[in-house]
Amino acid sequence: MKRIVYALMATVTGLVLLFSYRTSVAPEAASALSDVAPVSSGTTAAAPAPTPSSTATASPSASGSSGSAASGASSGSTSSGSTGQTPSSGLRDGTYTGAAANTRYGPVQVQITVSGGSITDVQVPEYPSSNGRDQQINSRALPTLMDETIQAQSAQVDMVSGATYTSTGYRTSLQSALDQARS
């Protein structure tokens, strides 16, 4: 009889502990995190992510093709800016927006500015930010990825620990923008 009582008490205690475990950020902390936006390497701050209903517009000279399932990229890549001579790095001066790469938690889109054949600025106009956890992860990961892009001058940037999906989507969209700058 005692064993049954102890087993029931242990089960009840386990259930109470399980259901009292906090798995998300409190609403006050989530609203404080929503004000955090990734900062670019330039002098301006990155714009907040557009709403899911917004779509990228393509210029007449840009070609948007639907991505394959393997790449996870969607259509809607744009490019703008001057199309000056191609320096030895192979990148033309201008601003190039990569195709939005779909990730498990939402699309990631990268925009680069090339000046003098080098990547001088990186923006992330679209990234997962629908909840406090996404905002917390991306407020740490995106500035790191943007800094590494300017240092590496390529899509060969290290993944950020704890932001695997964002890092993968970032690299995919960055490669799309770099391909536009080279063509």
In this prediction the pTM is 0.55
Over residues 55-109, the pLDDT tens digits come to 333 333 333 333 333 333 333 444 444 444 445 568 899 999 999 999 999 999 9
How many other CB atoms are there within 10 angstroms of residue 79's CB atom?
Answer: 22
Separation between Cα atoms, residue 142 and residue 128, nearest integer Å: 11
Over residues 109-139, the pLDDT tens digits come to 999 999 998 999 999 999 999 999 999 999 9
Q: Which residues is 101 bridged to in the sheet?
A: 73, 108
pLDDT at 24: 53
